[in-house]
Amino acid sequence: MLYRLLSKIDRNKFEVSVISLTDVGPVGEKIKELDIPVIGLGMKRGVPNPIFLLKLASILKKEKPDVLQTWMYHANLLGLLAGRLAGVKNIIWGIHHSNLDPKIEKRQTIAVAKWCGVLSRFSSKIICCSHASLQCHEQLGYSRDKMMVIPNGFDIGLFQPNRHSKSLLKELFLADDCLLVGHAARWHGQKDHPTLIKAARMVVDKLPNVHFVLCGDGVTHENETLSALIRQEGIEKHVHLLGRRNDIHTLMPQFDVYVSSSKAGEAFPIVLGEAMACEVPCVTTDVGDSAYIVGDTGFVVPPEHPQVLADAIVRCLSLPTEERKQLGKKARQRVEEHFALDLVVEKYENVYQSLL
């Protein structure tokens, strides 16, 4: 979302620079392509070091920003401390978690989030990407009067319907009458791939022409845990692991259904909106703001229930083709009206300007 925000922000009104606590990374390189300077501090992940707090404060003191927008817990904490040391007046936090499940999140992440709750009254504003996120952090003691919701935004120009493309079917050597169920998520506990794989077997038992297409970091055949789950269910020929893909906008419109199987931690799943913008009906678990995003344009089920998830996928795929198309059209219309990137960027700009 940070990259999308910076790609659309009015550069005539705002001069932007980015500081990464760690290295520049792939996102930072993309931001550089926008002709925005990016500095990487080089801090090792999971290893707090006060030296980097001083480095950050030094940079901020030199840059003298009118507004400091931080992103995620560690940046919120260090940004607040360094910003105050550097004399930055306006510090806005960005929160993109909906809960902090100790079974999924690292202990250090939870500790930092709780410290942020104690210090939240010293921030200028706290922007949550979802209503679920706001409620969760209010319960953690974050200052409610500082908090507001700005949802993630979607580039409806980049993510568009394209029902005629068959490139993915060809890439996978599948017949034209096969139905594709998409899932784009990194390999992480909160994404709950085991529930998805169990549900996939139940779907294939009823609809043998269905294939599941999974992509994301760590979602490859080299992932022995994931591969073992697929072999255990006996659906090797029906699950396709693509790994990290940079062409999600071309893959997404080729899915007949998009599914999100997450069980926790999600605040505002970006991929749901991207699928909806491509007129692809969604089946999602009820985590974070997923149900709010989908509205009445898809199917919402409880998390960690493979059979219920499978039944919803089957119901969606079994709809008459025209009815499924109309559901997809309603989904895109909902994104255009509520989550279009231009609308979201304007909300961020209004917050920044309100502090100047």
**Mind listing the pLDDT tens digit for each residue in 128-174?**
999 999 999 999 999 999 999 999 999 999 999 997 889 999 999 99
Q: Please tell me the predicted confidence (pLDDT) of residue 103.
A: 75
Mean pLDDT value across residues 341-355: 97
CATH says 167-338 is which class? alpha beta
Contacts (Cβ under 8 Å, ≥6 apart) of 252: 159, 182, 184, 258, 274, 275, 278, 280
Whether 324 and 316 have beta carbons less than 8 Å apart is answered as yes
CATH topology of domain 2-153+340-355: Rossmann fold (3.40.50)
Q: Which residue ranges make up each domain of the chain?
A: 2-153+340-355, 167-338
State the DSSP string of 84-140. Answer: HHHT-SEEEEEE--S---TTTS-HHHHHHHHHHHHHGGGSSEEEESSHHHHHHHHHT
Most distant CA pair in the chain, distance:
63
Q: Please tell me the predicted confidence (pLDDT) of residue 312.
A: 99
Q: Percent of the chain scored above 70 by pLDDT?
A: 99
**Domain 2-153+340-355 and domain 167-338 have a common topology:** yes
106 pLDDT exceeds 90?
no
Q: Hey, what are 139's tokens?
A: 């319960």
Q: Please tell me the predicted confidence (pLDDT) of residue 219.
A: 98
100 pLDDT exceeds 90?
no
Q: Please tell me the predicted confidence (pLDDT) of residue 47.
A: 64
